[in-house]
Amino acid sequence: MSSGIFAKEPRLRPSAMATVAERRFADAEALSDTNENARANGVAYLVGFVVEILLKARLVDKFPQIARKQQHEVSETEREIWRLIWRQHDLEGMLERMNELDAALKRRGERDGKDYSAELKKVCATWTIQARYSPRTMLMTEAREWLERVRLLKELLK
Amino acid sequence: MADGTVTVPPFVTLLTAALTQQLPGAEVNTEHVRADRFRFIVVWDQFDAMDHPERQDLVWDIAGRELAPQDLRNVSMILTLGDEDLPQS
C-alpha cells in the first residue's frame, strides 16, 4: 500500500491544487449522497477545505518565490505569506492578502447580479480547522447548503 | 494622533448600529484587520436557533442594505456566534 499521500509536497503548483480541490469536493458530494446526518460534518469540513486549497493556490500563484522557499530561507517580510501557505488555515488572512480577488468577485457579481464576495466571506467566516475536532453534529440540510455555495464559488476561485 | 491609534471609519459605526438595532439584544464588537478593513463579531442568543448559513445571510443582508458597495468591501468578516458557541464557564 502506498503512503505517498502523507509526504509533504516539496512544491505546490496551482493547477495541481485545483485538481486536488475538485477531488475533495467530489468526496464531499459522495458523503452528501449518503443522506446520513452522521456524515454531515464530513461534508462541511471538506467543502471548507476545498475553499482553503483554492485560496492557497491563488496565494502560491501570486507569491511563487515565497511559496518555493524553505522556512529558513524566508525573510521577515515574507514570513506572513509563507506561513499562510505552509503553516496556517486562515481563510480570512488569505483573503486579506488578495484584494484583487475580492475586486474580481465584485466585478463578476455585478455582471451576474450576485454578491460573490459576500458569499465567499460567509463561508470563510464560518469554516475553521476546528471543525475537525467538534463533537457536535451538523444536519445534512445545512451541510448541503454549504456544498451548494462552494460548488459555485470554487469555479470562481480556480 | 498617537502611534498605533486606529481611526474608526464611519462605516464601522454605521454597521455596528444597524446590527445592534436590527438584532435586538445582540452584542457587536469590531476588530481592526488592516488598512480600512474591519472584522465584526456578533453575539446574539437567537443565533442558537439558526444554522450558520442562515446567520450569515441575515447579517450580510443587513450589511448590504446599510453600507455602500465600497464600504462593504472593507468588511473583512462578520462572525456570528450564539450563546452556545461561547466558552462555557
Q: pLDDT per residue over A18-29, tens digit each?
A: 999 999 999 999
**Pick from B24, B22, B16, B79: nearest CA to A91:** B79
Compare CB distances from A92 to B57, B60, B76 and report the shortest one's residue: B76
**Closest-CA residue of chain A to B34:** A96
* B46 contacts: CB under 8 Å, gap ≥ 6: B23, B25, B82
Task: Confirm or reject contact between A145 and chain B (CB < 8 A).
Answer: yes
CA distance B66 to B44: 19
Dump pLDDT digits (tens) for A117-136. 999 999 999 888 777 777 88
Contacts of residue B37 in chain A, CB cutoff 8 Å?
A: 96
Whether B84 is covered by a domain: the verdict is yes
For chains A and B, what is the number of CB pairs under 8 angstroms? Answer: 52
Contacts of residue A121 in chain B, CB cutoff 8 Å?
A: 60, 75-78
Number of domains in chain B: 1
Mean pLDDT in chain A? 93
Over range B31-40, report the average pLDDT.
93
**Closest-CA residue of chain B to A114:** B64
Whether B69 is covered by a domain: the verdict is yes
Whether B88 is covered by a domain: the verdict is yes
Interchain proximity A92–B33, CB inside 8 Å: yes
Contacts of residue B72 in chain A, CB cutoff 8 Å?
A: 115, 117-118
Whether B28 is covered by a domain: the verdict is no
Whether B51 is covered by a domain: the verdict is yes
Whether B71 is covered by a domain: the verdict is yes
Dump pLDDT digits (tens) for A30-53. 999 999 999 999 999 999 999 999
Whether B54 is covered by a domain: the verdict is yes
**Structural domain containing residue B63:** 16-23+45-89
Whether B62 is covered by a domain: the verdict is yes
Cell of B23: 438584532
Compare CB distances from A118 to B33, B53, B60 and report the shortest one's residue: B60
Is the model's pLDDT at A10 over the cut of 80? no
Compare CB distances from A96 to B34, B69, B80 and report the shortest one's residue: B34
**Closest-CA residue of chain A to B84:** A136
Contact A28, A47 (CB under 8 A): yes
Between the alpha carbon of residue A56 and those of residues A10, A99, B19, B34, the distances in Å are 15, 14, 32, 20
